[in-house]
């Protein structure tokens, strides 16, 4: 998979993409992440990327020309018709595990980082194919949101995580929050690991985990519990 990111602050991505799972995935050639500076696609002496809003009001608006030129130049390199061109903006559809799974199916994706002051509407209308928000709060720019999207998508690429099954029990992957996890020691400060987990009875363990995941979801996120596929018994 190749992910192209267009933004105003490419240096923000250096350290987060050079650690842990994303770093390993890049080194193993499972994903290529290319970060572009929108400013490199300007032609004036001051490398201007924004301008005052027509009609007045506070805040600057990102100009269309550098964004169109950047996207069109990168599109030529990746040569892929169905490439989603995604604007990161608080006005987008909410990013969920379902959306991450959908993006992970693509060979290429392009992420365009907006800034909260806004992007010229013609970019949205004639260039962008999808708009994503990572939650109902305002960030100063789409860069952090793009990192969140890249992290959630990259870990779904086959081969990135150690075991092909390792994300099946993640919170949200089955519509429920994850069950409680324990590791050694068996007793810590007099607090014991639930006996069922030491029983070796895999059927009982699976049942207990499912029950815990359901209880935890009902208590913490009743909104999710409503949408989960629970059996009559559950």
Nearer to ligand 6GU among residue 119 and residue 213 (C-beta) = 119
CB of 142 to ligand 6GU, least distance (A): 4
Residues facing residue 51 across a β-bridge? 61
Signed CA dihedral, 224, 142, 139, 64: sign only: negative
Min separation Cβ 88 and ligand 6GU, Å? 4
Question: Is 24 a catalytic site residue?
Answer: no
Q: How far is the CB of 132 from ligand 6GU (least distance, A)?
A: 6
Q: What is the number of the residue whose Cβ is closest to ligand 6GU?
A: 145
Closest CA to 49 of 127, 41, 36, 34: 41
What residues have CB less than 8 Å from 222, skipping those under 6 apart? Answer: none
Distance (Å, whole) CA 194 – CA 197:
6
Token pair listed for 177:
């929050």
Q: SS3 helix, strand, coil % of the chain, rounded to 5?
A: 40, 20, 45
Per the annotation, the verdict on 155 as an active-site residue is yes
Closer to ligand 6GU by Cβ: residue 88 or 154: 88
Q: How far is the CB of 10 from ligand 6GU (least distance, A)?
A: 17
Active site residue 90: yes
Chain residues in the site for ligand 6GU (CB under 6 A): 88-90, 116, 132-135, 137-139, 141-142, 145
Which member of 24, 90, 124, 130 is catalytic? 90
- Looking at beta carbons, which pairs linking 15-23 to residues 24 or more positions away fall under 8 Å? 16/147, 16/151, 17/147, 17/150, 21/151, 21/154, 21/155, 21/160, 21/161, 22/150, 22/151, 22/154
CA pair distance 93, 34, nearest whole angstrom:
24
Closer residue to ligand 6GU, CB minimum distance, 90 or 175: 90
Catalytic residue among 50, 64, 131, 155: 155
Least distance to ligand 6GU, CB of residue 8, Å: 12
Q: Is 178 a catalytic residue?
A: no
Which residue among the candidates 101, 170, 209, 221 is catalytic per the annotation?
170
The residue (of 88 and 177) whose beta carbon lies closer to ligand 6GU is 88
**Residue placing its CB nearer to ligand 6GU in the complex, 135 or 159:** 135
Cβ neighbourhood burial of 38 (10 Å; 0-12, 13-18, 19+): buried
Choose the catalytic residue: 102, 117, 151, 178: 117
Q: Which residue numbers are catalytic?
A: 90, 117, 155, 170
């Amino acid at each position: 998979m190749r992910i192209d990111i267009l933004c105003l602050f490419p240096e923000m991505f250096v350290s987060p993409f050079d650690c842990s799972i994303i770093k390993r995935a890049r080194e193993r050639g499972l994903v290529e992440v290319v970060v572009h500076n929108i400013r490199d696609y300007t032609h004036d002496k001051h490398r201007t990327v924004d301008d005052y809003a027509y009609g007045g009001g506070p805040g600057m608006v990102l100009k269309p020309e550098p964004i169109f030129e950047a996207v069109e130049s990168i599109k030529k390199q990746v040569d892929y018709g169905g490439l989603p061109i995604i604007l990161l903006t608080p006005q987008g559809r909410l990013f969920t595990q379902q959306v991450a799974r959908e993006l992970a199916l693509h060979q290429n994706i392009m992420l365009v980082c907006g800034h909260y002051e806004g992007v010229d509407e013609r970019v949205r209308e004639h260039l962008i194919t999808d708009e994503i928000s990572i939650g109902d709060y305002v960030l100063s720019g789409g860069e952090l949101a793009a990192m969140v999207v890249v992290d959630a998508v990259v870990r779904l690429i086959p081969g990135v995580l150690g075991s092909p099954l390792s994300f099946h029990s993640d919170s949200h992957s089955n519509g429920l929050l994850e069950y409680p996890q324990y590791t050694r020691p068996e007793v810590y400060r007099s607090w014991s690991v639930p006996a069922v987990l030491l029983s070796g009875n895999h059927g009982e363990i699976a049942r207990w985990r499912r029950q815990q995941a359901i209880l935890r979801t009902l208590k913490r996120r009743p909104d999710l519990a409503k949408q989960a596929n629970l059996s009559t018994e559950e």
